[in-house]
Every structure is written in structure tokens, then in C-alpha cells.
Amino acid sequence: MKIVCVAGARPNFVKIGPIVAEFRKAPDFFDITLVHTGQHYDQAMSGAFFDELGIPSPDVHLEVGSASHALQTAEIMKRFEPVLLERRPDFVLVVGDVNSTIACALTAAKLGIGVIHVEAGLRSFDREMPEEVNRVLTDHISDLLFVTEESGRRNLIHEGIAEERIHFVGNVMIDSLHRQMEAAAQSRVLERFGLAPGQYGLITLHRPSNVDEPEVFRGILEALRKISEELPLLFPMHPRTRNNVKVWQMDGFFARNGGEVGVQATEPLGYVDFLQLMRHARMVFTDSGGIQEETTVLGVPCMTLRLNTERPCTVEMGTNRIVGVCPEDIVAAAGEVLAGKGRTGGLPPLWDGKAAERIIEILKAEPQRHREHRKND
Ligand code: UD1
């Protein structure tokens, strides 16, 4: 079975890593090509993840870089099409919900090539999120849909997707987490930032709805600065966020040379250091999707600074709380955790580090049937 696997942006790398590793265990069965679209390109946003997660160098690099949504999506499609025409795979496998995901899925679907979507069915029901548009469209042109949680299956069935094309396999992002736990334990990152286990908070923010809106962003930073008076906070900053801090001259929210009250900002960190920081944090503030899942598995209280989540099982079963973006609510939620009232939770079903194995077993089992779906629908 000839499969072209696609990765483009930081969260994609964490998801594609375990899948490619499993494919490589069955070279007689799978002929794999790994394509990097180049949506993320900095060493900190891309190269570091390939190195740490042991992902082989991409066979093809499309080098698209940053641009508006339309330009970036179009450019990926334009550069991806000749790769498919040359390789003629049976399937293109895409992960997650970034622009690279929809661009490559659509290119394949238009050429009559099967599409496999890993992490299908998640829905925030908020079409203002660019990722929500990517998710819905990708799912509807996919032939095989692998879901991470029960809500994914429900959403897809509700949208009219045939049940036999949906497979509940668990979460490949958690496969990566399991694989890197030991490496994380060796990390010296807490010492590097002068942090003690359980006595700091960790922040990530990069959603346009939070960091591209100066008033919302300012309110969140005010809340975080207030919390940092009681709990040291570390903020590894996404380039989009860093750019906006500069443009809107928000440096005053951050501690300058350590020691001072304030939020400690730093460059984006690699996977292993970030995992170690999450694992020992008293709480995590985030607007990321994947971090809601990782904190659930690590049992660390997660404050999601958004109005919704496409990953409801992290709230229903895990440690996640949808706090919103109102400064008073953020401060109050952190106060509850500091008072020992943080959420505890359990592990969602099949988040056991074996999701990629299940995907590969399903692909091996009935390759012919997967192809037939396409013709019959
Ligand atoms: C993208 C994804 C988002 C994902 C996030 C993870 C879409 C629509 N969004 O958002 O779902 O959660 O990645 O990080 O696909 N930049 C760099 N270096 C890089 C990459 C980006 O400096 O290696 C800067 C550029 O100024 C760029 C900006 O970051 O314009 C935003 O990058 P982009 O890929 O457009 O969106 P993200 O916000 O990263």
C-alpha cells in the first residue's frame, strides 16, 4: 500500500511521528513517503521536533512558509499536486486541523486518491476558528476517519458519514507523550528557568482570537501578571504571539531579568523540555488543543483560555476547565487551583500510547475494502 504522509505545522509533527514509526515496522506492506509542507519552518517550530521525536527527514519538502490562509493553502496545493502525480499513492494520510491538513486532503481528493484523516470528528462548533473549517472540510473528503474520542464518532455520524469508515483508535499525540516520558525525566529545563516542581505555572497562547485581538490579549496578560504575584509563570512564546507583543509594546507585562514579579517569557521550547515542564506544573494556561489532552493524561490542572473546546472528553473525564478569556475568571480559576480545588480526572479510553499501532492494524486488515469505499459512496 502506497501512502503519502503529510505534516506541516508543529502539532502535526507530534502526531505523525508515532504513525511513521509504526509504518516503518512493516516495510513489506507499506511504501511510505513523508511530505513536509513547510507551513512551520523555524528550527524551534519544526526541526527540533523531527530531531527529538526521531522522525525521519521528509522525503519531500514543499517549503511554502507563512502567508495568508488563502495563499498558504493554495501554495501547498500547487506544490503538492505534482508530488501526487509522480508518486500515485493509494492514500494520502493527513493529521490534525491545520492549513496543511485541508490543503493536502483536498489535492488528493481532486485527483481521486484516497484520504485518511487521523484525529477526525473533533468539533468546537465555532466556525470563526480557522481550524474548525479545516476539520469539517477534511472529514467530508476523507475515506477513512480515525477518531480520538467518542465525541468524534458522534459528530461524524451526525454529519452523515458512514459508520464503517470511522474507527475509534485513541490518540496518537499521547503515543508521542508515552514515548518521550523517559527523555523528559532527564531534562534540566526546570533548573534552567529556576523553577521547582509543583511551584510554577506554564502558559501557551497563540490562537488568533486571543493574541491577534489587542484588548483580549491585554486582558489575559493582566490576569496572568496578577497570578504571577503568587505563582511564578513561564511563557514559551509562539512567534505569532511574540510578534504581537512587539507590535503592541506589551513588554511591560513580562519580567526582565528574573527575580522580578511578572511572567517569564522565553522562546518556543522543544517537545521534551515542554513535556517535562507540563508534567511538573501546578497548572497550565493554554489555548492549544493538544495541551488540553496532554495535561489530562499527566493529571495536571489545565485552564483553557477559550470559550469552547473541540476535545470535550478532556473536560468530562480529564483535568481541563474551560475558563474563557475574562481576566477576573482567569484569576478566580487559578485561585481555586492554588487553594487545592483543581480538577482531578481519569484517562480517556484508548489514550494508552497504542493508537498508531491500531491505525496500522486497521490499514493492514482490509486494504481492498478501504479502496472500495471510495467507489461506492
Ligand atoms: C498554526 C495552525 C494552528 C496550530 C498552530 C500551532 C492553521 C490555520 N493554524 O497556527 O492550528 O495550532 O499552527 O503552532 O494552520 N512563524 C514563524 N516561524 C514558523 C512558523 C510561523 O515565525 O516556523 C510565524 C510567522 O510570522 C507566521 C505566524 O507565525 O505568519 C503564524 O504562523 P501560521 O502557520 O500561519 O499559523 P499559526 O498561528 O502557527
pLDDT in tens, 178-190: 999 999 999 999 9
Q: What is the pLDDT of residue 259?
A: 54
pLDDT at 344: 81
Alpha carbon 165 to its chain centroid, in Å, reads 23
> Rounded mean pLDDT of 316-329?
97
Q: Is the pLDDT of residue 377 over 80?
A: no
Question: Which atom of ligand 1 has the smallest separation from the CA of 207?
Answer: 38
Residue 369 has pLDDT above 90, yes or no: no
CATH class of 188-338: alpha beta
The CA–CA distances, whole Å, from 214 to 1, 211, 219, 220, 246 equal 49, 7, 9, 10, 12
Q: Kindly state the average pLDDT of the residues 8-21.
A: 98
The predicted model gives 136-161 an average pLDDT of 98
Would you call 238 a catalytic residue per the annotation?
no
* Residue type (1 letter), 212: D
Bridge partners, 8 (sequence order): none
pLDDT at 260 over 60: no
| Helix or strand (DSSP H, E) at 194 | none
Q: Residue 375: which pLDDT band, with cuts at 50, 70 and 90?
A: low
Query: Is 165 exposed, middle or buried (CB count within 10 Å of its CB: 0-12, 13-18, 19+)?
Result: middle
47 lines ligand 1 (CB under 6 A): no
Mean pLDDT of 219-241: 96
Q: Does residue 14 have its Cβ closer than 6 Å to ligand 1?
A: no
The confidence band for 352, taking pLDDT boundaries of 50, 70 and 90, is: very high
Q: What is the pLDDT of residue 255?
A: 87
Quickly name the fold that domain 2-170+351-376 has: Rossmann fold (3.40.50)
Q: What percent of the chain has pLDDT over 70?
A: 95
Q: How much distance in Å is there from the Cα of 26 to the middle of ligand 1?
A: 33
Q: Is the pLDDT of residue 23 over 80?
A: yes
Mean pLDDT, all residues of the chain: 95
User: Considering only CA atoms, which residue is closest to atom 30 of ligand 1?
Assistant: 66
DSSP structure class, residue 236: E
pLDDT of residue 192: 96
Q: Is 9 in the pocket of ligand 1 (CB under 6 A)?
A: yes
Query: Whole-prediction pTM value?
Result: 0.96
Contact 176, 52 (CB under 8 A): no
Pocket test for ligand 1, best of 240, 241, 288, 306 (most atoms within 8 A of CB): 240
For residue 101, pLDDT beyond 60: yes
Q: Where are the domains of the chain?
A: 2-170+351-376, 188-338
**CB of residue 98 inside a 6 A radius of ligand 1:** yes
The model's pLDDT over 155-172, given as tens digits with 9 standing for 90+, comes to: 999 999 999 999 999 999
Residue 332 scores a pLDDT above 60: yes
- Where is 373: in which H helix or E strand? helix 367-376
Mean pLDDT, range 223-229, rounded to an integer: 96
**pLDDT of 58 strictly over 80:** yes
Q: What is the mean pLDDT of residues 57-79?
A: 98
Catalytic residue among 40, 117, 167, 206: 206
Q: Which of 39, 50, 126, 210 to mutate to test the pocket of ligand 1 (most atoms within 8 A of CB)?
A: 39
Task: List, in order, residues 6 or more apart from 138 with CB less than 8 Å away.
Answer: 94, 97, 101, 102, 105, 115, 117, 120
For 88-213, where are the alpha helices, taking DSSP H only?
99-110, 130-140, 150-158, 172-185, 189-192, 208-211
Ligand 1 pocket, residue 206 CB under 6 Å: yes
Mean pLDDT confidence for 96-122: 98
SS3 category, 332: helix
Q: Do domains 2-170+351-376 and 188-338 have the same CATH topology?
A: yes
Asked whether the predicted pLDDT for residue 354 surpasses 70, the reply is yes
Confidence of residue 373 (pLDDT cuts 50, 70, 90): low
What are the tens digits of pLDDT across the range 334-350? 999 999 987 788 999 99
